[in-house]
Amino acid sequence: MDINNIEKELLSNEVGTEFLPWIGNDYEFGVTYTPKGELVYGTKQDPGVRLLALGESHYADDFDKTDPKFHDFTKEVVRDYLAGRSGKQNFQRWMNTLLKFERSISGNETSGLESQEIWNHLAFYNFLQTPLSMPRMQPNDTELVESKKPFFKVLDLLEPDIILVWGRRLYSSLPMESDYFTGKEGEGIYIDGYRADSLIYCKKNGHQSLAISLYHPSVGFDWRFWNSIIKKGVANV
Domain count within the chain: 1
Three-class DSSP category at 65: coil
Domain housing 136:
3-235
Give residue-wise pLDDT tens across range 62-100.
Answer: 666 666 678 999 999 999 999 999 999 999 999 999 999
The dihedral of CA 104, 190, 165, 21: what is its sign?
positive
E strand intervals along 145-237:
162-166, 181-185, 189-191, 194-196, 198-203, 208-214
Is residue 231 a contact partner of residue 37, using CB atoms and an 8 Å limit?
yes
| Confidence (pTM) | 0.95
CATH number at residue 220: 3.40.470
For residues 213 and 165, the answer to whether their CB atoms sit within 8 Å is yes
Give the containing element (helix H, strand E) for 231: helix 223-236
Average pLDDT score, the chain? 93
Question: Do 62 and 142 form a contact (C-beta atoms < 8 A)?
Answer: no
Give the C-alpha separation, 19 to 129, whole Å. 6
Q: Three-class SS of residue 59?
A: strand
| pLDDT 10s digits, 168-216 | 999 999 999 998 899 999 999 999 999 999 999 999 999 999 999 999 9
Q: Please tell me the distance from the alpha carbon of residue 216 to that of residue 233, in angstroms, as a whole number.
A: 17
